[in-house]
Each structure stands twice: as C-alpha cells, then as structure tokens.
Chains A and B, each alone.
Chain A
Amino acid sequence: MRVSFRNLLSQASRKFLTKSLTLTVSIGLSVFSNISIAGERLTLTGSSTVAPLALEMAKRYEKNHPDVRINVQTGGSSRGINDARVGLSDIGMVSRGLKDSEKDLTPHVIALDGIGIIVHSSNTVTQLTRDQIVDIYTGNIKNWRQVGGDDVEITVVNKAEGRSTLELFLHFFKLKNSQIKPQVVIGDNQQGIKTVSGNPGAIGYVSIGTAEFEHNRGTAIKLLPMDGEQASVVGVASGDYPLSRPLNLVTKGELNGVTADFIKFVQSDAVSDLIENQFFVAP
C-alpha cells in the first residue's frame, strides 16, 4: 500500500504557498529581482566525477552563446540516469557505460577514464594479481607481508554505496559490496588520495589521471599495474588498460535545439584541452 501524504495538501494551497513565499522575498529584495532572463536554459545533473568537466565545458559554451545558461548539479550517476529519464534534467551525467535496463537513454561519450589501484609510495609491493586484490578486499589477506611486502597491516579503502567507481570495481572483480571488508569508506576521489597518502598500509582505487597528477607533484601515492599493464592515461587512451570506463552524457528521446548543439560542442575538438585539464582522456 502506498499512501501519499502530499495529496493531502491540495494543489491550490501549494501554489498559494509558493506564490506568497516568492512574493515576500521579492519585495524584500526588489533590487535583486530581474527574474526574467531571455534565452534557453539547460540543466545537467549526475556524476560528481563528470561534474567539474561538464561545468568547464558549459562555461565555454556559454561564452560562445551568451543567451544560453547551463546549470550543472553534482550528484551521482544513478541520479543522472533517473533525472534524465523523468525529465528533471535535460542531460544526465554518467561516469560508466549504460546497463541493459538503461537502454531507453542515449549515451554520448565525452571522455574516457581509467580506474587505478593506488598504494602508499613507501609500499615495496610493485604489483598485485587479480586474485590477490580480491583476497585483500575480502579480508583474506590482512598484511602486506603475505603478498611480498613489508610487515604492515593493510588498510582497505572502499567507495561508498552508489558510486559508479565502486560498481565498476565490483563488476571487474566479480564481487558483491557486502563481501568487501573495508577499513575506510570514502566519498569522492580526492578523499581517497588523501586517505592513502596519509597511511603507509593503505590500498585504494581512484581515477588514473588524478592519481598520476598527484604522484607527479609529490603526493605519497603510487599506481600499481593491472594484469601487467601499466596504469596510465596513455594506457587508457590506447585501450590496453583493462579497467576503464567511458564518461557519458545521456539524453532521452530525440535530440534537438540547444541540447543537440551542446552535445555536438562537447564532442568536438573545441573542448579537448578541458578534458586534458581535468585529467581525463579525449575519446
């Protein structure tokens, strides 16, 4: 049984509330009430990984089209899918490929990203097999000594539920999240890097581009190869690195107007420097 409380407050009272609130504030801030702005508005919602890139792309697009406003809201890929599907946003941002259940939406790849395993730079381990990684994440291996490293306890860093990096990681290693025994759970990418660089026994997984950047500027982390393939932006670009993902913009139905123009713009060469600046790979 589904009871909706909302219906109890009638449509009319809702309108009245909105109007009176808006009115009160408008009067209070009459200086600030040039509400009507001509031109088109686009709303993008979804993945926090894509958000900074989309924001920069939107800014450049706005510069070329002064009458268009593009609002980028951060969230997660699942939110991006949902909002685009129900029409809350014009375009969804999704930092993975689309699942079979999501084929009602059209993906537009704007960049590629790889996920790399990172450890503290003082760690003597230079590579791990897939089985070792699975054993570490499921808690069967608890000390670096067991995989040829120093006698240091392993700190497993995992991502929070719902993040597509986590989904990709689980899918790649054929794990369920409830099997993983983490010591630290993180939200966004940078928290992972800060956590690993502050803990000699830590292991985590983050975007390769950002990890490379941090490593090069002296942050105490290093990337481990996967299946013998060096984890690098170059490896992602060539397609040799196995654990990579597309960064997508998704739309529902026919493309038209500003949406179509914006998608065309972000897939053109005009934004390749922005993609590089955000440490991703142009498709």
Chain B
Amino acid sequence: MLSKASYTQLGSKLDVVVSVVLSVLSFLCAALLCLILWFLISESWTLIASGQWQRFFLDEGWYPLEGLYAMTPMIVASLALTLGAVLIALPIGLACAIYLEFYARGLPKKAFRSLLNLLAGIPSVVFGLWGLTELVPLIAAIKAPGTSVLAGAIVLSLMILPTVALTSAAALSGVNRNTLAGAHALGFTQKTMIIAVAIPSARSGIISGVLLSTARAIGETMVVLMVAGNVVQMPDSLFAPVRALTSNIALEMAYALGDHRASLYASGLLLTLIVWLLAYLASYLNEKSRVFARV
C-alpha cells in the first residue's frame, strides 16, 4: 500500500505546473481580502490619518453633517441584534433539528425539510417587508414605536433559523447510530438520549452552523434598516429603536460626501474587523471543543 508521504509527492512536470498555476490563483483569491481592506482604509484615510478615528468612540452622537461621528452605539446595537437573534434561533432551530432527526417520519419529515430549504432561499427584502407591515405594528401595540431591538432580533432569527436547523440536523444525523442504540440498550429514555448523548456528540457541527448564522446576522443590512428603527442610541431596553452599523451605511452612503463618506467606509472597516474577530473566535472554539471531546 502507498504511504501518505509518497502520495503527496508530485509525480510529473505536468503536476508541478498545475500546482503552481493553482497556487497563484488561490493567492489571488486571498489577496481579495487585502484589496478590500486596502480600499476601505484608503477611502477612510483622511479621518484615520488625522487622528480623528478616536472620535468614532468619543463623540457625543452621530450627526455627520455637524461633524459628530460616534459609532459606539451602532457597534453595541449590531452586537445586541445579533446576540438576540442567535439566542432566539438556537433553541428553536435545535428543536426543529431534533424533530427532523428523531421524531418526524415519512411525509411530514420530507415536507418540513423542504420548508426549511425554501426558507433558506427567501430573499431578505421579503423578510423585511413582512417585519415592517406585520410584526412591527404588533410590537407597537405592546410598546411604541414597535421598530426596536426586539423586532430586529425576531426577524433576523427567522432568517437564520433555517441555517441553524439544517446544519444542526446534518450534525445530528452524523452521530454514530451504534452510540444511540447503545444508549437505548442502557435504558435511556428518548429525551435523555438526545440531550445527554446525541447533542454533545454533534456539538462541533452545531457550533459551526451557529457561527455561520452569526456572521449572516451581523452582516444583514436591509432587514435591520426596515424594522429596527435606525435611531443612533445605546439600546436601554428590548423595545428601544437602534441603528446597526450595516444599515447606517445603506441609509447614508448615497448621500455622503467628503468626511461623511470617509466615516462610512470606516464603519465598513470596523465591521470587517469585527467579523475577523468572530472568525478567529470560531476557530478557537472549534479547536477547544475538539480537545474537550477527546477527553
């Protein structure tokens, strides 16, 4: 049998050429990140270079036409909306995955799965439209103005729910059937088996699905613009209207000139850095859960 080492050796001239060409293309793809960062930095350079970037965190409010550029409330809002969405979507999505893998049979199972597939493909504008015309008035009836952290988090959670449910279901179906049969033989009830055996074994897959959805939630623009209220302020309750970093760019980009435009590119840069941090966190968590699972 061939060893792994001899396999990884390149066989011929053709292989070397192909390998070089492919590696160049790959570096090109990764260079895209540098290019994006480069442009975000160069477009916001006038504000960063003059040391004014500190004002993103220190200014009194966001009134770009009056020269005030505080972004902290929007960073907090983006994080709050994302956290809210994940907190709602995780238990519900997990329940859907459990239903799909352990309870549903036959037609309902097939129908439920295609419904989730369908939802994963619904454009965000449609969710936004529904949120604005149906959900927001409902919340407004409880406490005005309706457009709020809560509305944003609910609509976002519906958007990421299919992803959470489908990836979790895939992870659960990957759990070794023998392990589950063993748990049954030990006299575990269905509930104990799912909670104590199936979910822990599928943890890594579930986590990566959640992280994928987190990135989508924090990057979602139009839905948040339509239902979250867009007021630049620190959210002090679930019913407070807020503006996320993404919707700030969408709201003002078409109008912005000079320093105002630069500040919007700076918020794009900030978003990218936050995502970078998340990606790093993801790989760290993944590594840790792998170590944990081995113990």
Contacts and interface: CB of A to CB of B under 8 A. Distances in A.
The answer to whether A and B touch in the complex, with CB atoms under 8 Å apart, is yes
Interface of A: 1-6, 48, 74-79, 82, 152-153, 155, 157, 160-163, 176-178, 182-187, 191, 194-195, 198-202
22 contacts: A4-B42, A5-B45, A77-B255, A79-B254, A82-B257, A161-B251, A177-B63, A177-B66, A178-B68, A182-B231, A183-B229, A183-B241, A184-B231, A185-B251, A186-B230, A191-B132, A195-B136, A195-B145, A199-B136, A199-B140, A199-B145, A200-B140
A5 B257 contact: no
A191 B226 contact: yes
Contacts of B46: 2
Interface string B37-66: 010011001100110000000000111111
A198 B138 CA distance: 9
Given A1-B50, A5-B38, A6-B42, A183 B64 contact: no
Given A48-B254, A185-B230, 5 more contacts: A2-B49, A3-B49, A162-B252, A162-B256, A194-B133
A194 to B, nearest CB: 6
A178 B61 contact: yes
A75 B254 contact: yes
Contacts of B147: 183-184, 195
A3 B252 CA distance: 25
A177 B243 CA distance: 16
B73 interface: no
B255 A163 contact: yes
- Name the residue among B68, B144, B145, B256 with the largest chain A CB count within 10 angstroms: B145
- Nearest 8 A/B pairs, CB to CB: A162-B255, A76-B255, A5-B42, A185-B230, A198-B137, A155-B145, A75-B254, A183-B145
B132 A79 contact: no
Given A6-B42, A161-B63, A178-B68, A185 B229 contact: yes
A178 B63 contact: yes
Contact of A187 (B50, B232, B251): B251
B225 interface: yes
Interface string B249-275: 011101111001000000000000000
A185 B136 CA distance: 14
Interface in B106-144: 132-133, 136-137, 140, 144
B138 to A, nearest CB: 9
Contacts of B232: 185
Nearest to B225: A187
B209 interface: no
A75 B255 CA distance: 6
Nearest to B256: A162
Contacts of A77: 255
Nearest to B62: A161
B66 A178 contact: yes
A195 B241 CA distance: 13
- Name the residue among A1, A2, A187, A202 with the largest chain B CB count within 10 angstroms: A187
Contacts of B229: 183-185
A184 B230 contact: yes
B146 interface: yes
A227 B132 CA distance: 32
A64 B136 CA distance: 46
A5 B35 CA distance: 12
A186 B250 CA distance: 11
Contacts of A200: 140
- Name the residue among A2, A4, A185 with the largest chain B CB count within 10 angstroms: A185
A121 B82 CA distance: 35
B257 A78 contact: yes
A160 B264 CA distance: 14
Contacts of A199: 136-137, 140, 144-146
Contacts of A153: 144
Contacts of A184: 145, 147, 229-231, 241
Contacts of B137: 198-199
A200 B143 CA distance: 11
A163 B251 CA distance: 10
B132 A194 contact: yes
Given A75-B255, A161-B252, A198 B38 contact: no
Contacts of B62: 161
A4 B250 CA distance: 25
Contacts of A162: 64-65, 252, 255-256, 260
A76 B140 CA distance: 30
A155 B63 contact: no
A4 B256 CA distance: 19
Nearest to A6: B42
A93 to B, nearest CB: 12
Contacts of A1: 49-50
A231 B204 CA distance: 61
A78 B62 CA distance: 18
